[in-house]
Chains A and B, each alone.
Chain A
Amino acid sequence: MTFVAEPVTRLIEEFNKLPGIGPKSAQRLAYYLLRSSDEEARALAEAICALKEKTRLCSVCFNITDRDTCVVCQDSERDHSKICVVERPSDILPLERTGKYNGTYHVLHGTISPARGIGSEELKIKELLSRLQDGSVTEVIVATNPNLEGETTAMYLRRLIGPLGIRVSRLARGLPFGAELEYADDMTLSEALEGRQEF
């Protein structure tokens, strides 16, 4: 691409590194920005810079925040005796959207994955255990994904937290809304049967 100006090539290359963006999409984005106003381009550049410069991890729950302690951890209205453990910061959004949970969170930043060589040391497990030391927490809700790695992590946490006398619960597993019974897998179906409720 020697006949294209260097700044344009550079931007195309940068876009190309993003997930789900191929060379054609990268080109389209770069040329779109070239045509757009100066303010628009600057706003995008500033937003990207701010993302890295102004965000950090909450010192309590390790969610992404722009201050030392995140909004949830600072909120005295919330129930601080409950901690919901999630894999990634993005898992908090759907839980908040339900409007059913009023406790606090703890982000592990990953799951235990023997296949990829990720052990408990790489996750924020030690930090979770130290939050449980003062005895104010009565329940830990493990909300890791219902797959092999999420289950491994959940079982590991139960083994660590159970002996402390704190209730450890796991998000219920069952049939998702809109699914068909015929196509459900054994594990989901058997857990859905075991956890059936009167209605």
Chain B
Amino acid sequence: MDGGATRTYQTQAIIIKQIKLGETDKLLTLYSPKFGKLKAVAKGACRPGSKLGGNVEPLTHSLLMLARGRNLGIITQSQIIDGFLALKRDLWRMACGLYVLELIDSFTVENNENRPLFDLLLATLHRLCQADDSEIVLRYFELNFLHYLGYRPQLRQCVCCNLPLRPVVNFFSPSEGGVLCSSCSRKELISQPISVDALKILRLWQNCDYATAERVRVKSELSLELKQLLQGYIRYLAQREFKSVAWLEELRKTVIDSGGETE
């Protein structure tokens, strides 16, 4: 926090989680550009006539006025900057959005500023509203999300012997945080093969903006490989399964056969 003497302060934030607190209040988890993750109480937000109501639902970018409380901040005013309506009216896109929020929530700590991460989160939610292929949006997010948190995977040299990687099938090691050449991979127990194409795409996405990343045509087998690779790495770092991934998989299986649905 900025430590000022003022009792109230203003910040924009993306609401990443809410849980009901008591009969009518909500405890919100926010992600803000200046203070990182924050927790705050929205009093009376569950009442039908509440002035906060829909402004503090997850997947909303709002401008908030907060009063410093003894433990938690209290939201006194709110105004929506972007409600991401296209996201909330589409089952698949909403599930993607919730996955992004879960990653942010589980990898960040409170009051730790990370402006690039906030910008990435905001841009990703905008992209999910428009994108035809949400898989690319998610993979680009995951890769850059890892970078801004300090887990950028090493993709140019072997993480063990440091020699440049040859264009053959190499091995990705979550515990080493990068790619192993085929000779070093024998020493590492947990590693999975990474194809030449997958490695090329990851290298490109690590160093380009989204507009360039989006232009790459990714075939479905390659898309699956990239997904397993990045999600496997993230799962290893978090040492747990993500609940929203299970829901994404369920949707993939049951109702969505061709990418996304729109009303």
Which residues of A line the B interface, CB within 8 A?
20, 112, 114-117, 119-120, 147-148, 151-152, 155-156, 159-160, 176, 178-180, 183-188, 190
Contact = CB atoms under 8 A, between A and B. Distances in A.
Nearest to B248: A114
B260 interface: no
A151 B248 CA distance: 16
State the 3 A-B residue pairs at the shortest beta-carbon distance, nearest first: A185-B54, A117-B243, A114-B247
B59 interface: yes
B59 A148 contact: yes
Nearest to A159: B255
Contacts of B98: 114-115, 148
B246 A186 contact: no
Contacts of A116: 243
Interface string B48-59: 110101110111
A151 B83 contact: no
A120 B250 contact: yes
A22 to B, nearest CB: 12
Interface in B98-126: 98-99, 101-102
Interface of B: 17, 22-23, 48-49, 51, 53-55, 57-59, 80, 83, 85, 88-91, 94-95, 98-99, 101-102, 243-244, 246-248, 250, 254-255, 261
Nearest to A178: B49
A186 B91 CA distance: 19
**Highest count of chain B CB atoms <10 Å: which of A20, A178, A179, A187:** A187
Contacts of A184: 54
Contacts of A180: 51
Contact of B49 (A20, A119, A179): A179
Given A148-B57, A188-B54, A119 B255 contact: no
B99 A114 contact: yes
B246 A148 contact: no
Given A20-B22, A152-B94, A185-B83, A115 B243 contact: yes
A114 B244 contact: yes
Contact of A148 (B22, B58, B254): B58
Nearest to B17: A115
